[in-house]
């Protein structure tokens, strides 16, 4: 069979979630895909679970522990189709995910990366909140330096992207997708997010330990700041200057210095008061000071607060344009 999509899924010690994840892919309404599963040196029952499936579309590879980024790149080199679909071993795809995404790519050849909205689930599979991502290129670019504006395990990417612009950078472990997406934006690649929930996503903030979250924040902070400072080297309009300060304020608020975030927010207000109440909300929280904010980050209170405010009050802090 001539497949159209290569699903690439590295796995490391996900025996609790793996069966549901694999099943959700095999039950896709769109059938024309190969499923590349790479066992990254798991020490649990991962291998037995994978081998319990007999679907001919599965291509199973065993490896010593090398890490997700190396295995992602390896999986892409194994792919025999023009489209790469990402999937994580702890997530669950909706049955129409591939059908929706491949249909969009077929009708929009100018788009290189297509994602979707997701629902966030915790370790027990309970839905915590919806996560809506920006739809179009302009809004995706606006959000991307602050946080990834595309859910990585929910994306389909044209394989030519990797052939033309390179693979995931192995030194950016935990933020390899973020670094890739920022580089693709600089290169002029086009993104789109389908405004439907196509994945149940076990969000990292609900799983990763403190050290992993700190590592991710530090890497993504540097990448986001560098991206925006490169943008600012151009001659900016007043509105573009406002957007620069606003995005820098948000990066500092969530990942950097709360003092610097206040300075950027005040620069926004000097240019315009169009988002006065929104900025004031962040400024008030920033008055808690560096020590308390660091504690709230350490205990994941700030990102979790954003999730639950989005759930109950329908306020998404990163819908900021």
Q: Which two tokens stand for residue 49?
A: 């679970």
The pLDDT of residue 309 is 63
Rounded-to-10 torsion of CA 49, 156, 128, 225: 120
**Residue with more model confidence, 52 or 319:** 52
The residue-averaged pLDDT of 21-30 equals 98
- The CATH number corresponding to 5-204 among 3.90.550.10, 3.40.50.720, 3.90.180.10, 3.40.50.150 equals 3.90.550.10
DSSP string of 295-316, one letter each residue? HHHHTTHHHHHHHHHHHHH---
* Cα 122 from Cα 206, distance rounded (Å): 6
Q: How many CB atoms lie within 10 A of CB 111?
A: 16
pLDDT per position as a tens digit, 85-110: 999 999 999 999 999 999 999 999 99
Confidence band (pLDDT; 50, 70, 90) for 275?
confident
pTM: 0.89
Rounded-to-10 torsion of CA 47, 48, 52, 55: 10
* Cα 278 from Cα 296, distance rounded (Å): 20
For 127, phi and psi rounded to 5 degrees? -70, 125
The pLDDT of residue 291 is 77
* Cα 283 from Cα 121, distance rounded (Å): 30
pLDDT tops 80 at residue 306: no
- Residue 158: C-alpha distances to residues 144, 182, 238, 248, 302 (Å): 19, 16, 36, 31, 35
* Average pLDDT, rounded, for the chain: 89
The pLDDT of residue 276 is 87
pLDDT per position as a tens digit, 186-223: 999 999 999 999 999 997 666 555 455 566 678 899 99
**Domain limits, the chain:** 5-204, 234-313
The pLDDT of residue 319 is 53
Most confident of 82-96, 271-285, 289-303: 82-96
* Cα 42 from Cα 63, distance rounded (Å): 9
Q: Which two tokens stand for residue 16?
A: 């609790």
Which range among 220-229, 240-249, 297-306 shows the weakest confidence by mean pLDDT? 297-306
The pLDDT of residue 299 is 65
3-state class (DSSP) for residue 123 = coil
């Amino acid at each position: 069979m001539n497949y159209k999509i290569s699903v690439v899924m590295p796995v490391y010690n996900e025996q609790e979630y793996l069966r549901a994840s694999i099943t959700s892919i095999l039950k896709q309404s769109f059938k024309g895909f190969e499923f590349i599963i790479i066992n990254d040196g798991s020490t649990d029952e991962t291998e037995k679970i994978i081998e319990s499936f007999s679907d001919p579309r599965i291509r199973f590879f065993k490896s010593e522990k090398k890490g997700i980024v190396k295995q992602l790149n390896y999986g892409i080199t194994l792919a025999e189709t023009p489209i790469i679909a990402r999937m994580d071993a702890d997530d669950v795809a909706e049955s129409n995910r591939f059908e929706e995404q491949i249909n969009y790519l077929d009708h929009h050849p100018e788009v290189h990366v297509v994602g979707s909205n997701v629902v966030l689930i915790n370790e027990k599979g309970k839905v915590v909140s919806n996560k809506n991502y920006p739809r179009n290129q302009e809004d995706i670019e606006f959000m991307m330096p602050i946080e990834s504006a595309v859910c990585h395990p929910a994306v389909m990417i044209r394989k030519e992207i990797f052939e033309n612009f390179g693979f995931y950078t192995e030194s950016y472990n935990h933020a390899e997708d973020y670094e890739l997406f920022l580089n693709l934006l600089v290169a002029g690649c086009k993104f789109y997010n389908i405004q439907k929930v196509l994945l149940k996503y076990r969000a990292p903030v609900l799983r990763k330990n403190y050290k992993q979250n700190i590592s991710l924040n530090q890497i993504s902070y540097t990448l986001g700041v560098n991206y925006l400072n490169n943008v600012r080297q151009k001659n900016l309009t007043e509105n573009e200057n406002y957007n620069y300060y606003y995005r820098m304020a948000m990066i500092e608020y969530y990942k950097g210095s709360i003092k610097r975030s206040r300075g950027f927010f005040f620069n926004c207000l000097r240019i315009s008061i169009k988002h006065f109440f929104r900025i004031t909300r962040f400024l008030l929280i920033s008055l808690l000071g560096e020590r308390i904010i660091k504690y709230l980050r350490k205990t994941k209170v700030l990102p979790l607060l954003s999730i639950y405010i989005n759930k109950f009050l329908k306020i998404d802090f990163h819908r900021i344009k």
